[in-house]
């Protein structure tokens, strides 16, 4: 179960699987034991076990494969961690064919309201009035569970979260000699939220090489800080080579990185529309991940700059989604949809996802 730090992985697993042994490889003694004697470490678990932050000991994956193959019993080990195992170069054994992967990301808006998870059908069921309620406060606060559980000041908690992340996790994963420079890089990424990712420009603005920028982007992806949305093309190869758009999983973290100090500051911020777009797409991504579905989403843009913010691909069916933040609905809100309907592919139904008119 990969997911970002503080997304609630440990709490969920301990509550859902009370009969499992639990070990965190954040514990230095446990981590050293697993490094020095992986067979001895794993032999302690005669039944079933949860191994938390397992990415700290990549070699365990190979030893776990042997045990799983010999016992042939499902659910022997539950592996969780704050990095995406599939994106880590240090893990040579993926346990392909022997695992079921469930991503746990921070809360969704519907979870905080104690509602069912978001599905395609529910995209249109919530009333505009309900969606607008305290929306700026919600985006400013973010969706990490601890903030809501303990009623913590969001910007203070997010500042500590970010400092802990770059001071500890980054140093453990890659050799970053200038932590301040990496922090600047992450803030520059926040300033490009909802924009096409231009690594050369990003690297130049940060004063690092293109190769370093590429490596740091991969680190942020594997740590569930950012994600990329690819452009939609009928030609599958073009999807892979064209520039993606950059988004953050948590709107509260973006507000902290951009030094937005309050919901009212967010309301008048020049980044408001981009943060709202990222929030909406993230809501969809988190919801489908929590249903163990891979999100097949793209965006479309033509050479004149006309754009469809999000296209949900369902086989041959394409659902175009326009995301707007404004107090007044205008025809320009759906200009991209009107122009682009015949460009991405066979759209069979005109649907809208969070085509939002924000009320005061």
Span 284-290, average pLDDT: 89
Q: What's the distance, CA 212 to chain centroid?
A: 21
Segment 60-107, tens digit of pLDDT:
888 888 888 888 788 889 999 887 755 455 555 556 667 778 889 999
Q: What is the rounded distance in angstroms from the CA atom of residue 169 to the CA atom of residue 165?
A: 5
Backbone angles phi, psi at 210, to 5 degrees: -60, -40
| Per-residue tokens: 81 | 């961690």
| Per-residue tokens: 119 | 């599905």
Q: What is the rounded distance in angstroms from the CA atom of residue 141 to the CA atom of residue 154?
A: 5
CB crowding 149-164: b at 16 or more within 10 Å, else e: eeeeebbebbeebbee
CB 21 within 8 A of CB 47: yes
CB crowding 324-334: b at 16 or more within 10 Å, else e: bbeeeeeeebb
For residue 191, is pLDDT > 80? yes
For the whole model, what pTM was predicted?
0.83
Which pLDDT does position 351 carry in this prediction?
A: 36
Would you list the domain boundaries of the chain? 9-87, 109-340
Q: What's the distance, CA 49 to chain centroid?
A: 26
What are the angstrom distances between the C-alpha of 162 and each of 110, 140, 271?
25, 15, 20
Q: Are strands 245-248 and 307-314 parallel, antiparallel or unpaired?
A: unpaired
Span 215-237, average pLDDT: 85
Q: What is the rounded distance in angstroms from the CA atom of residue 161 to the CA atom of residue 106?
A: 14
CA atoms within 13 A on the CB side of 39: 1
> Regarding predicted confidence, which is higher, 114 or 4?
4
What are the angstrom distances between the C-alpha of 58 and each of 22, 90, 169, 251?
18, 6, 15, 31
Which pLDDT does position 194 carry in this prediction?
A: 95
For residue 169, is pLDDT > 70? yes
Which pLDDT does position 331 carry in this prediction?
A: 56
Residues 6+ apart with CB under 8 A from 340: 300, 302, 306, 307, 308, 320
> Regarding predicted confidence, which is higher, 116 or 34?
34
Q: 344 by DSSP, 3-state: which?
A: coil
CB crowding 56-72: b at 16 or more within 10 Å, else e: bbbebbebbbeebeeee
Q: Which DSSP helix (H) or strand (E) runs through 205?
A: helix 199-206
CB 322 within 8 A of CB 352: yes
């Amino acid at each position: 179960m990969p997911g970002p730090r503080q997304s609630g992985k440990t709490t969920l697993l301990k509550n859902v699987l009370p009969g499992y042994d639990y070990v965190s490889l954040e514990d230095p003694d446990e981590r050293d034991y697993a490094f020095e004697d992986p067979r001895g470490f794993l032999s302690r678990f005669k039944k079933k076990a949860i191994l938390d932050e397992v990415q700290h000991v990549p070699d365990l994956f190979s030893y776990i494969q042997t045990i799983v193959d010999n016992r042939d019993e499902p659910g022997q080990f539950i592996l969780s961690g704050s990095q995406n195992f599939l994106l880590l170069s240090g893990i040579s054994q993926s346990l392909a064919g022997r695992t079921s992967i469930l991503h746990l990301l921070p809360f969704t808006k519907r979870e905080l309201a104690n509602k069912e998870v978001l599905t395609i059908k529910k995209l249109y069921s919530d009333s505009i009035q309900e969606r607008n309620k305290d929306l700026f406060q919600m985006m400013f606060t973010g969706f990490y569970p601890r903030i809501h559980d303990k009623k913590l000041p969001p910007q203070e908690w997010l500042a500590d979260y970010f400092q802990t992340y770059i001071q500890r996790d980054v140093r453990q994963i890659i050799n970053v000699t200038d932590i301040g420079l990496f922090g600047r890089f992450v803030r520059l990424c926040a300033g490009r939220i909802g924009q096409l990712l231009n690594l050369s420009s990003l690297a130049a603005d940060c004063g690092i090489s293109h190769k370093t920028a590429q490596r740091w982007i991969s680190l942020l992806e594997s740590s569930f800080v950012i994600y990329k949305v690819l452009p939609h093309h009928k030609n599958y190869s073009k999807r892979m080579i064209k520039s993606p758009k950059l988004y953050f999983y948590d709107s509260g973290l973006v507000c902290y990185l951009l030094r937005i100090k309050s919901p009212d500051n967010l309301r008048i911020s020049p980044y408001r529309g981009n943060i709202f777009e990222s929030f909406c797409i993230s809501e969809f991504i988190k919801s489908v991940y929590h249903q163990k579905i891979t999100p097949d989403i793209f965006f479309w843009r033509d050479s004149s700059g006309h754009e469809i913010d999000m296209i949900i691909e369902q086989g041959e069916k394409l659902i175009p989604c326009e995301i707007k933040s404004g107090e007044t609905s205008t025809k320009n809100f759906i200009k991209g949809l009107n122009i682009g309907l015949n460009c991405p592919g066979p759209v069979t139904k005109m649907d809208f996802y969070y085509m939002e008119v924000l009320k005061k």
